[in-house]
């Protein structure tokens, strides 16, 4: 399957303008000094709000939800997040066990359908994390938060347990090397495939972007420079890719923004963005 797809092949999110059709994942790895910030809602959006999501309940398909562990833009029509954004640093990795308690997110507005764990039962899809369970092991409460169904999308086992998992593991190796990551994850390119009797839509692609900064950088968008390493991937959510390397799905941020209409690093200076978003990682 071709790695690149024309923008016109994307299906816009219901309720959003066409230019904000679908979103893909962004990762940003930063190194800091000895002082480590704890996870807070404000820390999760340091690099920006890719779709301009808001907390207005009338913004049903681009609804901003901010938690200490991650922030997300929720799409009521798809019953999945448009994107999930979080910071990952050494302080987030501890010994808390995997909780496995997938649960309905009661933070959704009253009257909205709230996805349940059983909606995925016998669906043929994994309950795929955006913010991974293994990225939140400092406390049991942090790990439990990753099992909220607003952080979950239907993923094929070969995607979720193959290159997607491998990239998640790679990001934690960056953290264990002394770096910090700012991550934005997004399911994208929705068609008509659903589970849960049509309530939950299945994305055709999953994507990420990773920006790596040298040790000693601050936890701020101003730490990103034209020499910053950017990793951007766009993976098909299909069977048959389990053995594929995540590196084979690398594209540029510019390409990803062309597919989605989103601005992934909106808090980074535009002059820096123009350089780093044009490159395709090759390390």
DSSP-assigned states of every residue in 78-131: TTEEEEEEEEE-GGG--SPPP----B--TTSPTTS----GGGGTTSSSEEEESS
Cβ neighbours for 136, distance < 8 A, ≥ 6 positions apart? 69, 92, 96, 142, 143, 145, 146
Alpha-carbon gap, residue 60 to 105, rounded angstroms: 16
Alpha-carbon gap, residue 152 to 125, rounded angstroms: 11
**59-95 b/e (C-beta count within 10 Å ≥ 16 → b):** bbbbbbbbbbbbbbbbbbebbbbbbbbbbbbbebbee
* Residue tagged 């009661």 (tokens): 106
The enclosing H or E element of 27 equals strand 26-31
Specify whether 103 is catalytic.
no
Alpha-carbon gap, residue 15 to 25, rounded angstroms: 21
Alpha-carbon gap, residue 141 to 152, rounded angstroms: 17
The catalytic residue among 78, 87, 129, 189 is 129
Q: How many helices (H) and strands (E) does the chain have?
A: 5, 9
Phi-psi region of 168 (alpha: psi -120 to 50; beta: other; left: phi over 0): alpha
Q: In terms of residues, how long is the chain? A: 283
Q: How many CB atoms lie within 10 A of CB 205?
A: 24
Residues serving a catalytic function are 129
């Amino acid at each position: 399957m071709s790695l690149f797809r024309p923008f016109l092949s994307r299906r816009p999110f219901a309720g959003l303008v066409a230019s904000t059709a679908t979103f893909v994942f962004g990762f940003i790895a930063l190194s800091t000094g000895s002082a480590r910030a704890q996870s807070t809602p404000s820390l999760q959006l340091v690099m920006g709000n890719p779709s301009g999501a808001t907390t207005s309940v009338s913004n049903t398909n681009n609804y901003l939800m901010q938690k200490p562990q991650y922030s997300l833009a929720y799409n009521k029509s798809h019953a999945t997040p448009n994107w999930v954004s979080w910071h990952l640093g050494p302080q987030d990795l501890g010994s808390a066990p995997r909780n496995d308690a997938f649960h309905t997110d009661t933070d959704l507005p009253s009257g909205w359908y709230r996805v349940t764990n059983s909606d995925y039962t016998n669906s043929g899809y994994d309950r795929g994390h955006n913010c991974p369970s293994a990225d939140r092991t400092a406390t049991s409460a942090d790990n439990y938060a990753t099992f909220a169904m607003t952080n979950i999308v239907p993923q094929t086992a070969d995607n979720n347990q193959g290159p997607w998992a491998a990239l998640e593991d790679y990001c934690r190796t960056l953290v264990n090397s002394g770096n910090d990551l700012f991550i934005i994850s997004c399911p994208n390119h929705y068609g008509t495939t659903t589970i849960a009797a049509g309530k939950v839509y299945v994305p055709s692609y999953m994507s990420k972007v990773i920006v790596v900064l040298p040790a000693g950088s601050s936890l701020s968008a101003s730490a990103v420079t034209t020499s910053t390493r950017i990793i951007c991937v766009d993976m098909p959510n299909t069977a048959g890719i389990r053995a594929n390397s995540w590196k084979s799905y690398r594209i540029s941020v510019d390409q990803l923004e062309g597919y989605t209409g989103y601005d992934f690093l909106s808090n980074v200076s535009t002059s820096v963005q123009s350089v780093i978003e044009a490159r395709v990682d090759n390390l």
